[in-house]
Amino acid sequence: MHDMKQLEQALGYHFQNPALLETALTHTSYANEARRGTKHNERLEFLGDSVLSIVVADYLFTHNDLPEGELTRMRASLVCESALFGFAQKIRLGDYLRLGHGEELGGGRHRPSVVSDAFEAVIAALYLDGGIEPARRFILPFVTQALTCKNTEDDYKTKLQEIIQQNPEERLSYVVTDESGPDHDKHFVVQVHLNSNCIGTGEGHSKKQAEQMAAKEALSLMGY
């Protein structure tokens, strides 16, 4: 396990009670194998999920005038397992986890469910040690970056669709041509077709991302 000081630097916060952070990083498998009384992170995960939800909901409510249904959809996309796993990877959180022997051998450091749960537990540790503001300062950079990337990506497909719709007889479709890699690190290749002709190819760690990159290439080749 890596030095906790390095993780505190990544979190942008120094813990008054380091035991909170240690517990947040402790998986049940480690606690079950360790000496009696070792705490694991499931209770912190429960609290962190709520802290994350309120911080994200507050930000979305404050920064736009979207209706309730759209706000709910956006919040769900930012607090789901895949989003949290992506956030956690940016700070290499998996490197710091305390895992039992079996979980370690089974690839727990790269398992989305394990790492995303620990991410929520770390949020709870920040909240309990310093209050809502340290938690908010930690969470919001991930949220704002994700929203920026999402808006940029959405523009590629939307713009391409708008251009093609000028000719009603034309039809766009996206086709996955290759899928590889383990579950925690998938790689997709997608082609965008205009009728039966390929007009762009894109790659990404999700089908959606690969589709966006294919649309981006198509727009570039079309001179947009």
Choose, from 8, 49, 155, 203, the residue flagged as catalytic: 49
| Closest of 120, 115, 27, 156 to residue 128, by C-alpha | 120
> If 0-12 CB within 10 Å is exposed, 13-18 middle and 19+ buried, where does residue 146 land?
middle
List of residues 6+ apart from 30 with CB closer than 8 A: 38, 40, 98, 99, 100, 103
First to last CA, the chain: 48
117 assigned to a ligand binding site: yes
Annotated active-site residue 49? The verdict is yes
Residue 217, annotated ligand binder?
no
Annotated catalytic residue, options 22, 120, 129, 153: 120
CA 101 to chain centre: 26
Catalytic residue positions, numbered? 49, 120
> Which segments are annotated as binding site for Mg(2+)?
45, 117, 120
> Which segments are annotated as binding site?
45, 117, 120
